Chains A and B, each alone.
Chain A
């Protein structure tokens, strides 16, 4: 049976209180706050973060690394991929060093993508060898029109599941789909912002009937009643809808309905049900039955049964670490700048498609070179050792993503939507030096000797491409 072997999450550090939005826009404020991706983050970079964490968690739980022979698939699902044409999954799979023969694809365009990805992955795994695993990455940074309700309700984030036949924390017991041509949210080819239909209409003729139908269908197929379900995890644009839905289906909203995390982070689109599921798995017990239902162009749901292995689940950090890691945005203007609505976001940076292609190993996978002659580590990579002069006697050396700040500055000249720009020189744990930008850090907190880790970010859009690389940020915390 196919199930979930590991989970990973990523939430951006910035939070925007919904009151700060309405103080600027004059609307009625919803409760709580939303996550906001930093200016250098997008759905792809957040997906990389969640995936790296998920792979780490997999290793912690099962004691074996997820290698080229076991990582047989990667599905990236999002409604806000940085690419309209071209897969984001190919970038992520390069960073993760997935085998070139693995299933690597994007599933973009519907909020339901995370559930559809599970369905595709499950079918693929049935045809694969028993050790095979598929990574499903759900990430969103949806662009809401300024002053719209969605500007308050949306949040940014990512979550990743590893699916497989062996070593599972929760089995997928049943799956059910209801397809429908129902536009609740949509965005056309040239639209910047997400459109939402009239609330009364889309709730009563879309969300409620479709979600009811899929959950009832799933329970019937599995021969289960609502009372037997420990947690109901449903996509919901606002908490009120999930509560009404749960009541209509005969669930107890207090004990059975999972938190959609709306108050703390907002509606994270395709990632929402995964994040909610992960918060449930954190407290789940063997034998627990969970319903997970996604919404969009119909609805899709699965029934999960938690296995004994749940007690073996090791995670470098729980969701609560991300919930505690908050950098409040105190200014609505800054938020608009991060979203490219106002301000000068980047300059006409030099880039070269051929150069990025030549250097993929270095730039995306963090491989430097190590001189076989004298052991010197070079990043950027070199052919001739600048310590001993040896030519073309280098081996690949993968940098560790952890290190300490050797020196730094906070630069007020460099163009940056989140000034000042912190520039750091980092000595990495297993050797090699990283010289580059810092991010997600309070300038006043930067110190020589401070521990940092490298995270995947977009540097600029030179040559019309998202130019991805690594930056240093303070550790997120956890084990």
Chain B
């Protein structure tokens, strides 16, 4: 499980662009917006930052290659250590993890973790395109991101007897939360009927079961916990952070159930152990989980220990995860409504959890939120990252 990160590292500032079809913003514009907001939030200047980690699935959209240079170029933040992090949808939280490790090591005092993604300059099918041309020329050809999770949904229906209506409720909930969020890509309420009537993406998932393809960036500024107190009293502690990287070849494993994802379970185990969490369902106040598709949110409930295996769907049927439920999930709208710029999503979740813990989440504020979790899942459940964030005592 690695060493204890517990309460050594803190977040003192966060920033996040509005997510959406930001055709008027370049990759650099997104990086600038989120970074300067975070600096202002922390009350420091960009030059105070000693090193940066930039998470991006496709940084070459910014005109550079797979390097740290796009960030240096965007921010004028040159000749400092910048490292590119890329782990598909787990990129954002892995970026934060690398920043945390750097501070915990004592090498740097103030660092920046940023996730940036430009999805909408690559055509409307950008998500599926990446899946259509990558991987092996033959084996598994035909796989798209939706088709993997759709296959999970069919098996889940078969095993546990639920149907599309239950999945639709996840989407309805997340759209409701998004409607309260001025930074969300989609800010409108929808009904179960809307989800059921919306066109297929991959059966049994429709357009309204699926995340959007959005542009956006999000930032967290990380320091040691002792230093954080000098910046603000409502800093947020990194209580635990875990990353588990498996293989996209799980889909060929005869033992793979398509019902639960080992990387999530492992990453959660790492993060919970560091944070001293024993009963996640009771202890955690709010969670941001990777709802790339509605079925994914339900499976995540189980893998993150919010529900027993095969019972994740009950949380949505019993309104446990709504804003006024016992364990609100995806309070900002989630990937579904807030949007999903791949490399930025993890840090967007961190942005929301920090705002919730600080009591600054406006009309979607959850009462007495002290401990929150963010979770991202990459590829066909090939990798996952989990972070536990808490208010200082």
- The answer to whether A and B interact is yes
> Chain A interface (Cβ within 8 Å of chain B)?
347-352, 355-356, 359, 362-363, 377-380, 386, 406-416, 420-421, 423, 425, 427, 431-433, 435-437, 443, 448, 459-460, 462, 467-469
Whether B138 and A363, one on each chain, are in contact in the complex, defined by CB atoms closer than 8 angstroms, is yes
Within the complex, the shortest CB–CB distance from A11 to chain B, in Å, comes to: 25
User: Which among B141, B201, B256 is the interface contact of A469 at CB below 8 angstroms?
Assistant: B141
Whether A409 and B147, one on each chain, are in contact in the complex, defined by CB atoms closer than 8 angstroms, is yes
Among residues 339 to 361 in chain B, which have CB atoms less than 8 Å away from a CB atom of chain A? Answer: none
Whether A412 and B253, one on each chain, are in contact in the complex, defined by CB atoms closer than 8 angstroms, is no
Closest B residue, CB atoms, query A444: B203
Within the complex, the shortest CB–CB distance from B153 to chain A, in Å, comes to: 8
Q: Is B224 an interface residue (CB 8 A)?
A: no
Among residues 231 to 269 in chain B, which have CB atoms less than 8 Å away from a CB atom of chain A? Answer: 247, 249, 251-254, 256, 258
User: Which among A352, A379, A409, A416 is the interface contact of B150 at CB below 8 angstroms?
Assistant: A409
Closest A residue, CB atoms, query B155: A407
CB-based closest 3 A-B pairs: A409-B150, A407-B155, A469-B138
Sample (8) of A-B pairs whose CB atoms are under 8 Å apart: A349-B137, A350-B133, A379-B252, A413-B201, A414-B142, A414-B144, A436-B142, A448-B154
Whether A349 and B203, one on each chain, are in contact in the complex, defined by CB atoms closer than 8 angstroms, is no
Contacts A377-B254, A448-B154, A448-B158 known; A412 to B136 CB distance under 8 Å?
A: no
Closest B residue, CB atoms, query A377: B254
Whole-angstrom distance between the alpha carbons of A348 and B153 in the complex?
30
- Chain B 108-136, CB within 8 Å of chain A: the 1/0 string? 00000000000000000100100011111
Q: List the A side residues contacting B201 at CB < 8 Å.
A: 411-413
Whole-angstrom distance between the alpha carbons of A436 and B138 in the complex?
9
Within the complex, the shortest CB–CB distance from B385 to chain A, in Å, comes to: 21
Whether B203 and A410, one on each chain, are in contact in the complex, defined by CB atoms closer than 8 angstroms, is yes
User: Which among B134, B135, B152, B200 is the interface contact of A410 at CB below 8 angstroms?
Assistant: B200
Size of interface on B: residues with Cβ below 8 Å to A: 39
Whole-angstrom distance between the alpha carbons of A429 and B4 in the complex?
47
Q: List the A side residues contacting B202 at CB < 8 Å.
A: 409-413, 420, 423
Q: List the B side residues contacting A427 at CB < 8 Å.
A: 254
Q: List the B side residues contacting A378 at CB < 8 Å.
A: 252
Q: List the A side residues contacting B128 at CB < 8 Å.
A: 413-414
Closest A residue, CB atoms, query B247: A386
Whole-angstrom distance between the alpha carbons of A432 and B256 in the complex?
11
Whole-angstrom distance between the alpha carbons of A351 and B139 in the complex?
11
Q: List the A side residues contacting B252 at CB < 8 Å.
A: 378-380, 433, 435
Contacts A409-B202, A414-B147, A421-B142 known; A349 to B152 CB distance under 8 Å?
A: no
Q: List the A side residues contacting B76 at CB < 8 Å.
A: none
Q: Is B20 an interface residue (CB 8 A)?
A: no
User: Which among B132, B138, B143, B153 is the interface contact of A423 at CB below 8 angstroms?
Assistant: B143
Contacts A349-B132, A349-B141, A351-B137 known; A386 to B253 CB distance under 8 Å?
A: yes
Closest A residue, CB atoms, query B204: A409
Closest B residue, CB atoms, query A351: B137
Q: List the B side residues contacting A459 at CB < 8 Å.
A: 137-138, 141-142
Q: Is B81 an interface residue (CB 8 A)?
A: no
Q: List the A side residues contacting B256 at CB < 8 Å.
A: 433
Whether A380 and B139, one on each chain, are in contact in the complex, defined by CB atoms closer than 8 angstroms, is yes
Whether A443 and B203, one on each chain, are in contact in the complex, defined by CB atoms closer than 8 angstroms, is yes
Whole-angstrom distance between the alpha carbons of A331 and B366 in the complex?
56
Q: List the B side residues contacting A462 at CB < 8 Å.
A: 137
Contacts A423-B151, A435-B252 known; A411 to B142 CB distance under 8 Å?
A: yes
Q: Is B140 an interface residue (CB 8 A)?
A: yes
Q: Is B199 an interface residue (CB 8 A)?
A: yes
Q: Is B372 an interface residue (CB 8 A)?
A: no
User: Which among A363, A380, A411 is the interface contact of B249 at CB below 8 angstroms?
Assistant: A380
Within the complex, the shortest CB–CB distance from A40 to chain B, in Å, comes to: 11
Q: List the A side residues contacting B253 at CB < 8 Å.
A: 386, 433
User: Which among B136, B141, B146, B258 is the interface contact of A437 at CB below 8 angstroms?
Assistant: B141
Most interface-central of A420, A425, A431, A448 (chain B CB within 10 A): A425
Q: List the B side residues contacting A433 at CB < 8 Å.
A: 252-254, 256
Whether A414 and B254, one on each chain, are in contact in the complex, defined by CB atoms closer than 8 angstroms, is no
Within the complex, the shortest CB–CB distance from B60 to chain A, in Å, comes to: 17
User: Which among A356, A413, A468 is the interface contact of B146 at CB below 8 angstroms?
Assistant: A413
- Chain B 25-65, CB within 8 Å of chain A: the 1/0 string? 00000000000000000000000000000000000000000
Contacts A406-B258, A460-B141 known; A380 to B136 CB distance under 8 Å?
A: yes
Whether B200 and A408, one on each chain, are in contact in the complex, defined by CB atoms closer than 8 angstroms, is no
Among residues 45 to 92 in chain B, which have CB atoms less than 8 Å away from a CB atom of chain A? Answer: none
- Chain B 199-242, CB within 8 Å of chain A: the 1/0 string? 11111110000000000000000000000000000000000000
Closest A residue, CB atoms, query B206: A412
Q: List the B side residues contacting A347 at CB < 8 Å.
A: 132-133
Whole-angstrom distance between the alpha carbons of A415 and B129 in the complex?
10
Within the complex, the shortest CB–CB distance from B197 to chain A, in Å, comes to: 15
Q: List the A side residues contacting B155 at CB < 8 Å.
A: 406-407, 448
Whether B137 and A435, one on each chain, are in contact in the complex, defined by CB atoms closer than 8 angstroms, is no
Within the complex, the shortest CB–CB distance from B78 to chain A, in Å, comes to: 35
Within the complex, the shortest CB–CB distance from A395 to chain B, in Å, comes to: 17
Whole-angstrom distance between the alpha carbons of A108 and B142 in the complex?
32
Closest A residue, CB atoms, query B250: A386
Closest A residue, CB atoms, query B143: A423
Whole-angstrom distance between the alpha carbons of A448 and B150 in the complex?
13
Whole-angstrom distance between the alpha carbons of A262 and B252 in the complex?
43
Within the complex, the shortest CB–CB distance from B238 to chain A, in Å, comes to: 32
Whole-angstrom distance between the alpha carbons of A460 and B135 in the complex?
14
User: Which among A406, A420, A467 is the interface contact of B203 at CB below 8 angstroms?
Assistant: A420
Whether A436 and B140, one on each chain, are in contact in the complex, defined by CB atoms closer than 8 angstroms, is yes
Q: List the B side residues contacting A421 at CB < 8 Å.
A: 142, 147
Whether B200 and A420, one on each chain, are in contact in the complex, defined by CB atoms closer than 8 angstroms, is yes
Whole-angstrom distance between the alpha carbons of A415 and B142 in the complex?
9
Within the complex, the shortest CB–CB distance from A389 to chain B, in Å, comes to: 14
Whether B150 and A411, one on each chain, are in contact in the complex, defined by CB atoms closer than 8 angstroms, is yes
Whole-angstrom distance between the alpha carbons of A467 and B136 in the complex?
11
Whole-angstrom distance between the alpha carbons of A128 and B253 in the complex?
45
Whole-angstrom distance between the alpha carbons of A406 and B254 in the complex?
10
Whole-angstrom distance between the alpha carbons of A459 and B147 in the complex?
17
